[in-house]
Amino acid sequence: MYLAVSPVVDPTATGGPAHWRLRPVAPDGAAAGPERRVDAAGLAGAELERPRWLMDAAARVYPDLLAAGCPVRRSHDVTLTERILLARDGRSGEPSSAAAVHARARGLTVPTDPDPAARDGQPGLFESGDAGPEQVDPLEALATAIADQHRRIGSDNALRLLVAAESASGLAAAEMGFAGLPWDVREHDRLLTAALGPRPVGGARPVKLAALAGQISAAFGFEVNPDSVTDVRNAFRRSGFDIESTGRWVLRELAHPAAGLVLQYKELSRLYTANGWNWIADWVRDGRLHSEFVPGGVVSGRWATRGGGGLQIPRAIRAAARAEPGYRLVVADAAQLEPRVLAALSADPALQAVSTDADLYAGLAADGFGGDRAAAKLAMLGAMYGQTSGEAGRLLGTLRSRYPAAVACVEAAARQGEAGGVVRSVLGRTSPPPGGTWRAVVATGTDETASDADRRRAREYARSWGRFTRNFVVQASAADWAAVWLSTLRRELASLSGAELVFFQHDEVVVHAPQQHAAAVAEIAIEAAEQARDLVFPGATASTPVRPMIVGGYAEAK
């Protein structure tokens, strides 16, 4: 049974909906009780009955519920679910809102998805006074959508698990955006000032950057703007270094006094522009970093973020992520998740055995790489990413001889992609099919009359897509595991008052918890990982351990 929820927006009011409409709905879409119209207190009362809430999209609905004081335990997220189901049908990118699902199921004109970014102050899709022919009652749309999705999911247990975990991820993401990551602005400012000098006024460069820019020009003997790739490249060419790119890997090899200075400049400049004082002003409010997390924002099922670069908090400023007084951060990450997932996915006995090592790469090294951990790691990453050249390519043979099933698993995925096919994660997330351009290029290159250049280009395209699908099966299955881990962890966390998820990044969570609950949170993280392994890879002997650390500041965790 579900409880469908839909906000009632008054276009003239600000600060979110004052009322919500609720309706019990059976899995087949039939109304299972009368509709209610409730305020915040009514919402909270309804949640006490522990329903599975049925919502259009947590990203659109849940922030207002949280603001109204109604944290939700369980949900079915029509939009997140629809993305998964559409991808399985090779229809990624089609509208996925409840209204769209409803329209498709009823053969009506499908509305485009509401844009969450353009929603503030605007009446929602269904609330505009003049209902057009394609407007549908939102509760009606939800009822149609759950029935339709139930039918399409059927009895596929893996898919059911994926949909449940994805829906829970939607809740977790909204909660994390709402809570924010505790952020010590004074510590951040201290780090910035130490690296860059005091915060500049106006548009001036910080003093350290200005000094480096001056030294760079002096080293060349003429004026060079280190912010300009073109400028830097031309300067090195004038100085006798014929470089194509100004990337780190190129500059590192240059025997010119400016090279090291440019590298220093780039590092500091990135800190200043990407995570400097402006970033604080934009994304930190009341001591919390508020990123918008977007579950399923990546085709593989990984999360993305909108704004703040929430998944790219550089190590240089992690010391600013600090627990509040009386609290601790519990940082739990699944170390070396992807090779462990490959072990489980491929059921390779030898790799599963090695995966029980705390350091999988050390185990690999001992198992066939003469103790050379770096080589073992390179070979494993190369196999998962599709690297065929260099040392990784040479080491692939060793990997294949030791772990034939694991290598065969990723190579089968690569062949599937090279042929234009799709692949699936362990729980059934499906890769997108290649686009029209790809098909055209590959078709041209395989024609009898194709030129050598056309053939080469076609091979390149095919191989590139093969690398994508090769990596997809591992990355997406890791994302499946992580979603189940996160949702299990989140569910158990509800029993510890004051503990909240504040950060999630692919294979790592941060929980902000009262000091006295920190140890329990760590235990929950460990157990949730074991449950995730059993749910996502039933029967697998591979291990996907997490090692939580209880710290005051994020920087202490690594």
Partner DNA sequence: GCGGGGGGCGCC
Partner DNA sequence: AAAGGGCGCCCCCCGC
Is 457 a binding residue for DNA by CB under 7 A? The answer is no
Rule CB under 7 A: choose which of 94, 127, 187, 227 binds DNA: 227
Closest distance of CB 500 from DNA, Å:
21
| Crossing angle of the two packed helices 337-346 and 360-368, in degrees rounded to 10 | 60
Of the two residues 106 and 456, which places its CB atom closer to DNA in the complex?
456
Rule CB under 7 A: choose which of 23, 104, 266, 402 binds DNA: 266
Is 408 a binding residue for DNA by CB under 7 A? The answer is no
Is 409 a binding residue for DNA by CB under 7 A? The answer is no
Contact stretch for DNA (CB under 7 A) within 56-64, 102-110, 209-217, 265-273? 265-273
Is 183 a binding residue for DNA by CB under 7 A? The answer is no
Phi-psi region of 538 (alpha: psi -120 to 50; beta: other; left: phi over 0): beta
Of the two residues 35 and 460, which places its CB atom closer to DNA in the complex?
460
Is 399 a binding residue for DNA by CB under 7 A? The answer is no
Q: Which x/- pattern, by CB under 7 A, does the window 231-260 give for DNA?
A: x-x-----------xxxx------------
- 14 is written with which tokens? 């600000």
Q: Which of residues 282-341 bind DNA (CB under 7 A)?
A: 294, 297-300, 302, 304-309, 311-316, 333
CA dihedral sign, ordered 387, 390, 392, 398: positive
Is 169 a binding residue for DNA by CB under 7 A? The answer is no
Closest distance of CB 446 from DNA, Å:
14
> What is residue 14's three-state secondary structure?
coil
Contact stretch for DNA (CB under 7 A) within 184-192, 253-261, 420-428, 469-477? 469-477
Q: Which residues pair with 553 in a beta bridge?
A: 322
Residue 290 has φ and ψ, to the nearest 5°, of -105, 95
Closest distance of CB 287 from DNA, Å:
20
Residue 172 has φ and ψ, to the nearest 5°, of -60, -40
Strand order in the sheet with 181-182: 181-182, 288-289, 284-285
Rule CB under 7 A: choose which of 112, 273, 446, 495 binds DNA: 273
Is 551 a binding residue for DNA by CB under 7 A? The answer is no
Residue 205 DSSP code:
P
Closest listed residue to residue 380, CA positions, set 358, 368, 395: 395
309 close to 303: Cβ distance less than 8 angstroms: no
d(CA 548, CA 489): 12
Identity of residue 356: T
Q: Which helix (H) or strand (E) holds 20?
A: strand 19-25
Closest distance of CB 314 from DNA, Å:
4
Identity of residue 202: G
> What is residue 290's three-state secondary structure?
coil
Contact stretch for DNA (CB under 7 A) within 139-147, 156-164, 272-280, 440-448? 272-280
Contact stretch for DNA (CB under 7 A) within 213-221, 352-360, 455-463, 545-553? 455-463
Closest distance of CB 558 from DNA, Å:
7
Identity of residue 445: G
Closest distance of CB 122 from DNA, Å:
19
Total number of residues that touch DNA (CB under 7 A):
61
Rule CB under 7 A: choose which of 80, 280, 392, 510 binds DNA: 392
Is 411 a binding residue for DNA by CB under 7 A? The answer is no
Of the two residues 105 and 243, which places its CB atom closer to DNA in the complex?
243
Closest listed residue to residue 119, CA positions, set 97, 137, 141, 88: 97
C-alpha pair distances (Å), 281 with each of 322, 337, 425 = 18, 35, 39
Cα 44 to its chain centre, rounded Å, is 30
d(CA 408, CA 425): 16
How many other C-beta atoms lie within 10 A of the C-beta of residue 435? 9
Give the side-chain half-sphere CA count within 13 A for 465: 25
Q: Which x/- pattern, by CB under 7 A, does the window 490-509 give for DNA?
A: ---------------xxxx-
Closest distance of CB 308 from DNA, Å:
6
Who's near 456: CB < 8 A, 6+ residues apart? 445
Contact stretch for DNA (CB under 7 A) within 55-63, 87-95, 224-232, 345-353? 224-232
Of the two residues 380 and 528, which places its CB atom closer to DNA in the complex?
380
Of the two residues 217 and 305, which places its CB atom closer to DNA in the complex?
305
Using only C-alpha atoms, what is the Rg of the chain? 26
Q: Which of residues 370-389 bind DNA (CB under 7 A)?
A: 378, 381-382, 385-389
Identity of residue 440: A
Of the two residues 186 and 248, which places its CB atom closer to DNA in the complex?
248
Interface with DNA (CB under 7 A): 225, 227-231, 233, 245-248, 263, 266-267, 270, 273-274, 279, 294, 297-300, 302, 304-309, 311-316, 333, 378, 381-382, 385-390, 392-393, 459-460, 463-464, 467-468, 471-472, 475, 505-508
